[in-house]
Amino acid sequence: MESSRNKKRGYEQSVEDEADGMPGSKKSKLPALASVIVEALKMDSLQRLCSSLEPLLRRIVSEEVERALTKFGHAKLAARSPPPRIHGPGEKNLQLHYKTRMPPHLFTGGKVEGDQGAAIHVVLIDTNTGDVVQTGPESSAKLNVVVLEGDFNEEEDDDWTKEHFESHEVKEREGKRPILTGDLLVTLKEGFGTLGDLTFTDNSSWIRSRKFRLGLKVSPGYCDGIRVREAKTEGFAVKDHRGELYKKHYPPALHDEVWRLDRIAKDGALHKKLMKADIVTVEDFLRILVRDPQKLRNILGSGMSNRMWENTVEHAKTCVLGGKLYVYYADGTQNTGVVFNNIYELRGLIDDGQFVSLESLTHSQKTLPDSGLHEHVFAFRYRLIPW
């Protein structure tokens, strides 16, 4: 039994010795092959991971780019505006422009005018040079005035198409007269033109933006073969003429009733307070504002906030005073006197019969009229002599 165990132990020992005696290259191949297999599996897994992530990454990048474009308005331009035209070498690039700004609102039945009653001027520009087109057949072209939607918001440097422009023209409502009547044709002279008498017959309250724009385009039969980009004004509201009865004036006139000033409603509480204090016109308002602004502020009272007060005063000061001057002489010799404008602002002095302008007065001379002289002059205002 014991000999059998010894034989088995000897056999196992001999196998181990033979294994130890084998060449080392054959023994080391097993771990090297395992490493290769592991590395191959790793590489295959990485490639599969990359392949599976690629579509996801592409979609994320695409969404981020689209979001950025939308943020900066490119998506909107691509959706609404046609692609810009590419002008060939030597091709004319002409554009019409309105040179006059429009007021914030107009009234039906009234004359269409620019800001502060200005005439509405137009011009034809060569955008390649920035110059007015004063020669050639285009410089004397005829133009049509049209009404546009107020939300036609393309910027001035956008190169829209004629079809795109005309798609924003506003036509009259069913059963109504044409929105704009009068002289709808403008003839350029050396590249310049002026709109004639025009009148709105309908208000703009039924338009989505509640505003109109004036548009301008070349009449059929002119500038054939040449693209002339149309013009548009700023948006403005058109109100029914009934509102003109309560319209504020910009700028106000001296003889305007005082309710024409901002923040003072006709027949309202503030208007009644001013009337009670014999402040009837804008001129009356300005005269007491110059003499005693605190008194005027007290007359209006708490019903007018500080913000309202600032708006009203600012509007009143835009009044055009004209060049009329008055002199108050201290005595009958007319050698010494004080020169005022028609709202009693100091304009200069008469010293020894000579006029000294406000800019030339010394500090002490400037303070002289403020030392009670305003009230004295006002009390004896019938003695003011036109100068």
Distance CA 358, CA 350 (A): 11
Rounded to an integer, what distance in angstroms lies between the CA atom of residue 122 and that of residue 97?
6
324 within 8 A of 311, measured Cβ to Cβ: no
Task: Give pLDDT, residue 29.
Answer: 46
- The confidence score (pLDDT) of residue 101 equals 94
**What pLDDT score does 346 carry?**
86
Distances from the Cα of 69 to the Cα of 61, 65, 73, 76, 82, angstroms: 12, 6, 6, 9, 17
Cα angle value 273/278/280 (rounded, 5°)? 85
Cβ–Cβ under 8 Å, residues 106 and 179: no
Beta bridge partners of 121: 194
* Per-residue confidence (pLDDT) for residue 326, from 0 to 100: 87
Residues 65, 175: Cα–Cα separation, whole Å: 49
| Per-residue model confidence (pLDDT) at position 33 | 59
Question: pLDDT tens string for the chain (387 positions)?
Answer: 545 554 445 544 444 444 444 444 444 444 565 665 666 566 666 666 666 666 666 667 666 666 665 555 444 443 444 454 544 445 678 999 999 999 998 999 889 999 988 999 999 999 889 999 999 999 999 999 999 999 987 665 577 899 999 999 999 999 889 999 999 999 999 999 999 999 999 999 999 999 999 999 999 999 988 999 999 999 999 998 876 667 788 899 999 999 999 999 989 999 999 999 999 999 999 999 999 999 999 999 999 999 999 999 999 999 988 888 888 887 777 888 888 898 989 888 888 888 888 888 777 666 655 545 555 454 444 455 565
The per-residue pLDDT for 297 is 97
| Residue of 262, 308, 318, 264 lying closest to 286 (CA atoms) | 318
Q: Which of 231, 228, 232, 233 is nearest to 140 (CA)?
A: 228
Q: Which residue has the tokens 């027949």?
A: 267
The verdict on pTM exceeding 0.85 is: no
Cα–Cα dist 65/76, whole Å: 14
Q: What is the pLDDT of residue 124?
A: 97
Q: Give me the pLDDT at residue 39, please.
A: 67
Handedness of CA 112, 113, 116, 117 (dihedral sign): negative
35-69 residue pLDDT tens: 656 665 666 666 666 666 666 666 676 666 666 65
